[in-house]
Amino acid sequence: MKVEETIERNIVYYAKEDILVTVDQLSVFVENKPGKLVEALETLSESGVDLRALSLADTADFGILRIIADKPVRALKVMQDAGYLVKSTEVLPVAVGDKPGGLAAVLRVLADAGIDVEYTYAFVAHSRDRAYVILRVKDNAAAAKILTDNGITLLTGEDMYGM
DSSP structure class, residue 142? H
Spatial CB neighbours of 132, under 8 Å, sequence gap ≥ 6: 53, 93, 94, 95, 96, 122, 123, 124, 125, 155
Residue 24: C-alpha distances to residues 108, 156, 163 (Å): 24, 11, 15
Per the prediction, the chain carries an average pLDDT of 84
Cα angle, residue 157 at apex, residues 64 and 116 outer, rounded to 5°: 55
Whole-angstrom distance, CA of residue 73 vs CA of residue 80: 11
Number of domains comprising the chain: 2
**Are residues 34 and 96 both part of a single domain?**
no
**Are residues 49 and 106 both part of a single domain?**
no
DSSP structure class, residue 82? T
Report the CATH number at residue 106: 3.30.2130.10
pLDDT tens sequence across 85-110: 999 999 999 988 888 999 999 999 99
Structural domain range at position 55: 3-10+24-90
DSSP structure class, residue 13? B
**Are residues 61 and 114 both part of a single domain?**
no
Report yes or no on 157 lying in a domain.
yes
**Are residues 72 and 84 both part of a single domain?**
yes
Report yes or no on 73 lying in a domain.
yes
Q: What is the pLDDT of residue 127?
A: 66
Report yes or no on 140 lying in a domain.
yes
Spatial CB neighbours of 17, under 8 Å, sequence gap ≥ 6: none
In this prediction the pTM is 0.76
Closest CA to 110 of 124, 120, 99: 120
Report yes or no on 97 lying in a domain.
yes
Across 54-73, average pLDDT: 91
pLDDT tens sequence across 138-157: 888 898 899 999 999 888 77
Report which of residues 2 and 38 the model is more confident about. Answer: 38
Confidence of residue 10 (pLDDT cuts 50, 70, 90): very low
Between helices 36-46 and 72-81, what is the axis angle to 10°?
130
Closest CA to 7 of 92, 98, 100, 72: 72
Confidence of residue 163 (pLDDT cuts 50, 70, 90): low
